[in-house]
Structure 1
Amino acid sequence: MYVDYSRYPRPESIRFFETAISNHSETKRLEKIEDYHYIIHRYDMPSFEVVVTNHYTIGLSDYYEIIDEYPDIQGIVTISNWNGYTNQAKTAAKQQQVGIFIMNELLGALTWNEPYKYIKKDDKGKPIFFGKYR
């Protein structure tokens, strides 16, 4: 079976995701719905439904394509550290209460009651955006 790794994460990336999320202090349980689709059950906070991708840059059309395929998700994670997202995609997602994250951002967002609102900040309180956001 051919897998398009420009869109879908490699098996080792999925193992990394599952291990990191399962070991996160706020994770009560990680539930795999299907390939790349998970529900993160958290302690004393609502569960968080996400899809893991390997898009180099999640653009607006990628966002809508993912939402069409997974209409109930609350987050999209592009797994590789060198991946990112566009301002348009991040803004459209936030308006629909969906978060777009690189993995590092997701780990921070899991501590928030509404993870889609999470934005990483530097020591001076200035937002840090990853990839192609600026």
Structure 2
Amino acid sequence: MPDQFVKFPRRESIVFFEKAMNTHNRVSGYKCLSDSYYEIYRDELPTIRVFVANYYALSVADYYDIVSDYEVDCLVTISNWNRVTQDAYELGKSNGVGVFKMGEFLGALNYARPCTYIRPIDQEDNGRR
């Protein structure tokens, strides 16, 4: 897969992300700071910086690649078939950075600190213990 379709999503994925931000009930607006990098303004919650990627499986190496270049509160892998490795999720959480698939990110937008959002898959695991 060409690199531009790994780190940076295709245009239609960016349009999907922006449309989701325009219709989310917690988002009051956003500003595109550069390719795939956004500042999201939220009603009654702090502004956050988000990097939108298209990694098939967002890993620890991908996490470091992004946070070395961008100041982020959240990393989002955009496509529905993409995923986040458990190690990347836990590393982000320990550093105060939410690492999410798009659907998870939409839920995390409702939290003052999105990194505190517990993904549904982790809620299910906790229920089994």
Q: Same fold (TM over 0.5)?
A: yes
RMSD across aligned positions (CA): 1.7
Q: CA deviation at 1:7?
A: 2.3
Distance 1:30 1:127, change over 3 A: farther
Q: CA deviation at 1:88?
A: 1.1
TM-score under structure 2 length normalisation: 0.89
- Tell whether the 8 Å contact from 2:60 to 2:87 is kept in structure 1 after alignment: yes
2:124 corresponds in structure 1 to 126
1:112 is the counterpart of 2:119: no
1:23 is the counterpart of 2:26: no
Distance 2:7 2:66 in 1: 10
Moved over 3 A (4+): none
Identity %: 37
Distance 1:21 1:116 in 2: 18
1:132 corresponds in structure 2 to none
Distance 2:82 2:43 in 1: 29
Q: CA deviation at 1:42?
A: 0.2
Distance 1:120 1:90, change over 3 A: closer
TM-score under structure 1 length normalisation: 0.86
1:62 corresponds in structure 2 to 62
The unaligned stretches of length 5 or more in structure 1 are 129-134
- Tell whether the 8 Å contact from 1:54 to 1:83 is kept in structure 2 after alignment: yes
Distance 1:23 1:127 in 2: 30
- Tell whether the 8 Å contact from 1:119 to 1:127 is kept in structure 2 after alignment: no
- Tell whether the 8 Å contact from 2:76 to 2:101 is kept in structure 1 after alignment: yes
Distance 2:112 2:92 in 1: 17
2:99 corresponds in structure 1 to 100
Distance 1:121 1:43 in 2: 24
Q: CA deviation at 1:127?
A: 4.9
Q: How many residues align?
A: 124
